[in-house]
């Protein structure tokens, strides 16, 4: 039984089965079923956080350099999350020394490549290509999870992944499937492809490498690793290539990506992975185009087309099927 005042959702066993490390979040204990219910709810909330990244990536091109945007994003998120998880981190220096290589690797994959590379690629490619490339990530995660991590995926779950994938493609090609043959790839797509592969590796390693830390403390340490990797590239970029304009506008852009696609989305993703597994949580990316269309309509006034609705009608039941327990 968990200690009073702590949720069992925030206890993690050490790989060797030794004592457990509590994460300092108050609240009543949650049953395993309640934890899974919360994880499924987060599947539908997290893409809304990531949609902010699409808007800022499009809007900040002339204001904030790619590495500066990624570094500022994770610096603010790190400071905010460290404020609530520092006690757990400070209490376990031995665990940090044992896992620091993992924090650096996950930080490089999740914060540097998945952050800065997307912003670099977005300067020379179009949203359609980004969505098309990233739509292959959940399929790759599901395949590797099945054979490398031994996660159970039955026929129902695979049909859900396929249905959601079809919905994403329907949105990407704007309802005209013949348009797939007309997609043109640019140099920016190479950056997006590397970012997508990096996200796949991040998702799988996050699941494959157990940690004694709770989701907040572990993400704080991964952010620290990402900042260490990002720092020299940010300095070189500012001095030799693209200096960032220091203004309230650039600060607003950085703060937006720090709070929503940074802190909110990554913390939710870590929790969902623990409860549902890498393969099932990977389908959260399929909601991205739907949420991006809704956000663009609300913020930028871009209309929602019929192909958006049709894609959503395929994606939503696909996510329902893919997140059902395997039998």
pLDDT band at 120 (very low <50, low <70, confident <90, very high): confident
Q: Is the pLDDT of residue 17 over 70?
A: no
Radius of gyration of the chain (CA): 20
Task: For residue range 284-304, list pLDDT tens digits in order.
Answer: 777 776 777 777 677 767 677
What pLDDT was estimated at residue 185? 66
SS (H, E, C) the chain: CCCCCCCHHHEECCCCCCCCEECCCCCCCCCHHHHHHHHHHHHHHHHHHHHHHHHHHHHCCCCCCHHHHHHHHHHHHHHHHHHHHHHHHHCCHHHHHHHHHHHHHHHHHHHHHHHHHHHHHCCCCCHHHHHHHHCCHHHHHHHHHHHCCCCCCCHHHHHHHHHHHHHHHHHHCCCCHHHHHHCCCCHHHHHHHHHHHHHHHHHHHHHHCCCCCCHHHHHHHHHHHHHHHHHHHHHHHHHHHCCCCCCHHHHHHHHHHHHHHHHHHHHHHHHHHHHHCHHHHHHHHHHHHHHHHHHHHHHCCCCCCHHHHHHHHHHHHHHHHHCCCCC
Name the percent of the chain lying above pLDDT 90: 25
pLDDT band at 317 (very low <50, low <70, confident <90, very high): confident
pLDDT band at 46 (very low <50, low <70, confident <90, very high): confident
What pLDDT was estimated at residue 93? 92
**Nearest by Cα to 7 from 186, 204, 214:** 214
What pLDDT was estimated at residue 105? 97
What pLDDT was estimated at residue 181? 64
Relative orientation angle of helices 155-172 and 137-147, to the nearest 10 degrees:
160
Q: Is the pLDDT of residue 77 over 90?
A: yes
Q: Is the pTM for the entire model greater than 0.85?
A: no
- For the ranges 51-55, 104-108, 242-246, the one whose mean pLDDT is highest: 104-108
CA dihedral 90, 93, 98, 103 (to 10 degrees): 30
Task: For residue range 144-181, list pLDDT tens digits in order.
Answer: 777 776 667 677 777 877 887 787 777 767 677 776 66
Strand partners, 12: 21
Between 261 and 226, the more confident residue is 226
What pLDDT was estimated at residue 34? 85
**Nearest by Cα to 143 from 129, 133, 157, 163:** 157
| 20-24, 69-73, 220-224, 230-234: segment of lowest average pLDDT | 20-24
Enumerate the domain spans of the chain: 33-322
What pLDDT was estimated at residue 81? 93
């Amino acid at each position: 039984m968990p200690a009073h005042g702590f949720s069992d959702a925030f206890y993690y066993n050490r790989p060797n089965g030794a004592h457990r490390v509590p994460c300092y979040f108050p609240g009543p204990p949650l049953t395993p079923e309640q934890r899974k219910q919360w994880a499924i709810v987060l599947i539908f909330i997290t893409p809304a956080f990531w949609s902010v990244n699409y808007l800022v990536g499009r809007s900040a091109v002339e204001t904030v350099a790619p590495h500066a945007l990624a570094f500022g994003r994770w610096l603010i998120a790190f400071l905010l999350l460290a404020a609530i998880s520092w006690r757990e981190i400070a209490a376990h220096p031995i665990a940090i020394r044992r896992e620091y290589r993992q924090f650096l690797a996950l930080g490089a994959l999740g914060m540097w490549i998945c952050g800065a590379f997307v912003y670099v690629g977005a300067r020379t490619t179009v949203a359609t290509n980004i969505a098309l490339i990233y739509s292959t990530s959940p399929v790759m995660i599901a395949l590797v999870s099945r054979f490398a991590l031994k996660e159970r995926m039955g026929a129902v779950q695979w049909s859900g992944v396929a249905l959601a994938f079809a919905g994403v493609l329907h949105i990407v090609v704007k309802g005209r499937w013949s348009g797939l043959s007309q997609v043109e790839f640019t140099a920016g797509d190479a950056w997006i492809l590397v970012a997508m592969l990096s996200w796949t590796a991040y998702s799988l390693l996050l699941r494959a490498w157990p940690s004694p830390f709770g989701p907040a403390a572990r993400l704080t340490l991964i952010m620290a690793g990402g900042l260490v990797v990002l720092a020299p590239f940010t300095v070189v970029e500012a001095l030799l290539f693209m200096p960032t304009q220091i203004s309230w506008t650039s600060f607003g852009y950085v703060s937006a990506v720090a709070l929503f696609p940074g802190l909110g989305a990554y913390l939710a993703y870590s929790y969902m992975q623990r409860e549902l597994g890498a393969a099932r949580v990977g389908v959260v990316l399929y909601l991205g185009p739907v949420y991006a269309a809704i956000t663009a309509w609300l913020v930028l006034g871009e209309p929602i087309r019929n192909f958006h609705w049709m894609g959503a009608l395929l994606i939503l039941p696909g996510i329902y099927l893919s997140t059902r327990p395997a039998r």
